[in-house]
């Protein structure tokens, strides 16, 4: 199919970066459509580890065009840092990176408001990444946002001045924070605009022209369905549609042209930040997953909460995203556990259900019902064929496949490109 999407089926951090990087060889365009520098994709090539927050994972392939589409919120300083990191390695992205003129810009007042509002929320804190994502999308919805293309328009000065004035009022009155300097922001962002100019374009027509010319477009999701603004564990979500649902609005691609959907799931669950997490565990098994899986946030360095695989949530993720096949990541992390558990139902208000509740009843009230399966002691990071996995590991994969009613086409057993089992 000419369009293929890679989507997170949990709370983000599933390993989409590696999957995209593996598949990008077949793509002509790699397109990110939502979120911003809250994301963190890690890709390991040889002995080098690359971490991106904004750049799509296709940047590691020489002949791909990488697109930051209109549904994103762009922190220009962060984007320029990532571009420079490539330039420092002798890699020039000027022909391979395209930034939508209709994407929204993240300003220092967005980050200041993000941090300040989290600071006063007490127990209602969301645990955001502090990258200004919520405030930037709020401005977009309120129609006071400034888009990338606006940076080159004479009205930029006036609109930015009005925004800084208003945000300073909020920062001072609501949060007792220091006001920001309009002049400083204006001159800083005018310089960013100059440096970003070669990349800025109309990415909608770029993508549609590429499809009309028979090219392959890979769509890269950030975060995951359980952080989706509409269908995640609201309000503990991000401010965009971090699922297939955001592709059309975030790129302009007609929904019926969204082709094959690759879901990505970790072999267990993790979550960074606050909010419901029915299968969360503590104790020895949690420590095992956190330590062996290096479960620390790529963007913030915070420890990730760990838990067993939530097959109720995953089945919902498969259904709502129309997942055609699943990639199971980090199976190697589970080696050494004497037993492994899978949540196959929730009990909420005394009732058992295998449906992930949308809105009501609350996921926060769910008690997980587990099936226990045998674990495996053998390390599997050197295994390259499915039949060479220990029986218990294969059994685990088959169990998930049967419950989720979807093919697990790829199993990842380590961060490197070759630590991958194709079935």
Binding mask 8-27 for ligand IMP (x = CB under 6 A): ---xxx--------------
Given the residues 13, 28, 114, 332, select the one marked as catalytic. Answer: 13
C-alpha span between 361 and 214 (Å, rounded):
46
Q: Which stretch binds ligand IMP (CB under 6 A): 124-132, 174-182, 308-316, 326-334?
A: 124-132
Question: Is 238 among the residues that bind ligand IMP (CB under 6 A)?
Answer: yes
Out of 96, 131, 305, 341, which residue is the one contacting ligand IMP (CB under 6 A)?
Answer: 131
Question: 239 or 419: whose CB is closer to ligand IMP?
Answer: 239
Stretch that binds ligand IMP, among 131-139, 166-174, 343-351, 356-364 (CB under 6 A): 131-139
- Selected range binding ligand IMP among 127-135, 209-217, 339-347, 381-389, rule: CB under 6 A: 127-135
**Least distance in angstroms from the C-beta of 389 to ligand IMP:** 28
Fill in the per-residue mask, 28 to 57: x = in contact with ligand IMP (CB under 6 A), - = not in contact: ----------xxx-----------------
Map tokens 């060889």 to a residue: 25
State how far the alpha carbon of 417 is from the alpha carbons of 18, 186, 270, 298, 414, in Å: 7, 43, 22, 19, 8
Cis peptide before 46 (omega within 30 of 0): no
Give the torsion sign (CA, 31, 22, 77, 197).
negative
Q: Which of 101, 102, 118, 127 binds ligand IMP (CB under 6 A)?
A: 127
The Cα 351–Cα 362 span in angstroms is 13
Q: Which residue is nearest to ligand IMP (CB)?
A: 273
Q: Per rule CB under 6 A, is residue 112 in the interface with ligand IMP?
A: no
Among 126, 160, 264, 348, the residue binding ligand IMP under the rule CB under 6 A is 126
In angstroms and rounded to an integer, the radius of gyration of the C-alpha atoms of the chain is 22
Active site residue 202: no
Q: How far apart are alpha carbons 251 and 261 in whole angstroms?
A: 16
- Closer residue to ligand IMP in complex, CB, 140/376: 140
The answer to whether 222 contacts ligand IMP (rule: CB under 6 A) is yes
Beta strands in 26-135, from DSSP E residues, in sequence order: 29-32, 41-45, 48-52, 65-68, 73-74, 97-100, 104-105
Residue 129 interacting with ligand IMP (CB under 6 A): yes
Q: Does 272 bind ligand IMP (CB under 6 A)?
A: yes
Q: What distance in Å separates the CA atoms of residue 162 and residue 157, rounded to the nearest whole number?
A: 9
Distance between CA atoms of 396 and 342, rounded to whole angstroms? 9
98 neighbors 67 (Cβ within 8 angstroms): yes
Max CA pair span of the chain? 66
Nearest by Cα to 337 from 279, 280, 393, 270 = 393
133 part of the interface to ligand IMP, by CB under 6 A: yes
Active site residue 41: yes
Region near ligand IMP per CB under 6 A, out of 58-66, 234-242, 367-375, 378-386: 234-242
Enumerate the active-site residues: 13, 41
Residues that bind ligand IMP (CB under 6 A): 11-13, 38-40, 126-129, 131, 133-134, 222-223, 227, 236, 238-239, 272-273
């Amino acid at each position: 199919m000419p369009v293929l999407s890679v989507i997170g089926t949990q709370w983000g951090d599933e390993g989409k970066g590696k999957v995209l990087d593996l598949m990008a060889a077949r793509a002509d365009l790699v397109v990110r459509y939502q979120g911003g520098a809250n994301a963190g994709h890690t890709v390991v090539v040889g002995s080098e580890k690359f971490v991106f927050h904004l750049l799509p994972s296709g940047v590691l392939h020489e002949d791909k065009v990488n697109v930051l589409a209109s549904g994103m919120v762009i922190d220009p300083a962060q984007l320029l840092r990532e571009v420079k990191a490539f330039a420092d390695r002798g890699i020039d992205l000027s022909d391979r990176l395209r930034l939508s003129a209709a994407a929204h810009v993240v300003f220092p007042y967005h980050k200041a408001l993000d941090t300040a509002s989290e600071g006063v929320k007490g127990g209602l804190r969301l645990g955001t990444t502090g990258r200004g994502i919520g405030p930037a999308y709020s401005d977009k919805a309120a129609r006071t946002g400034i888009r990338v293309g606006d940076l080159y328009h004479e009205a930029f000065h006036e609109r930015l001045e009005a925004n800084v004035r208003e945000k300073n009022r909020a920062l001072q009155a609501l949060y007792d924070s220091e006001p920001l300097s309009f002049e400083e922001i204006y001159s800083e962002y005018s310089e960013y605009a100059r440096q970003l100019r070669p990349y800025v374009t109309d990415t909608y027509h770029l993508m549609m022209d590429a499809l009309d010319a028979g090219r392959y477009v890979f769509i890269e999701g950030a975060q995951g369905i359980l952080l989706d603004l509409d269908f995640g564990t609201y309000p503990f979500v991000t401010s965009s549609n971090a699922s297939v649902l955001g592709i059309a609005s975030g790129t302009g691609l007609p929904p019926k042209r969204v082709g094959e959907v690759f879901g990505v799931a970790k072999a267990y669950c993790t979550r960074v930040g606050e909010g419901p997490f029915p299968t969360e565990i503590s104790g020895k098994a949690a420590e095992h997953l956190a330590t062996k899986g290096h479960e620390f946030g790529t963007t913030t360095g915070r420890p990730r909460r760990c838990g067993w695989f939530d097959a109720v949530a995953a089945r919902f993720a498969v259904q709502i995203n129309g997942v055609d096949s699943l990639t199971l990541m980090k199976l190697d992390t589970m080696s050494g556990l004497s037993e492994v558990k899978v949540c196959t139902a929730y009990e909420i208000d005394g009732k058992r259900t295998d449906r992930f509740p949308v809105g009501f009843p609350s996921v926060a009230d769910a008690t997980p019902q587990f099936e226990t399966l045998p674990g495996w002691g053998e390390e599997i990071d050197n295994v390259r064929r499915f039949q060479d996995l220990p029986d218990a590991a294969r059994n685990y994969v088959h169990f998930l496949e049967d419950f989720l009613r979807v093919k697990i086409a790829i199993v990842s057993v380590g961060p490197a490109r070759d630590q991958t089992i194709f079935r």
